[in-house]
Amino acid sequence: MSDIQAASGRYTTVAGDHRTELDIKRSRFITVLRRTETEDEARGLIAELRREFHDARHHCSAFVLGPGREVQRSSDDGEPSGTAGIPMLEALTKRETFDGASDLSDITAVTVRYFGGILLGAGGLVRAYSESVSSALSSASLLRRRRMQLCAVPASHAAAGRLENDLR
Q: What is the pLDDT of residues 96-123, one digit of tens each?
A: 988 788 999 999 999 999 998 899 999 9
pTM equals 0.83
Q: What is the pLDDT of residues 4-31, one digit of tens each?
A: 444 457 899 999 999 999 999 999 999 9
Residue range(s) defining the domain that contains residue 18: 3-167
Residues in the chain: 168
Looking at residue 36, which CATH number applies to its domain? 3.30.230.30
Q: What is the mean pLDDT of residues 115-135?
A: 95
DSSP state of 152: -
| Pairing outcome for strands 107-114 and 58-65 | antiparallel
Structural domains of the chain, count: 1
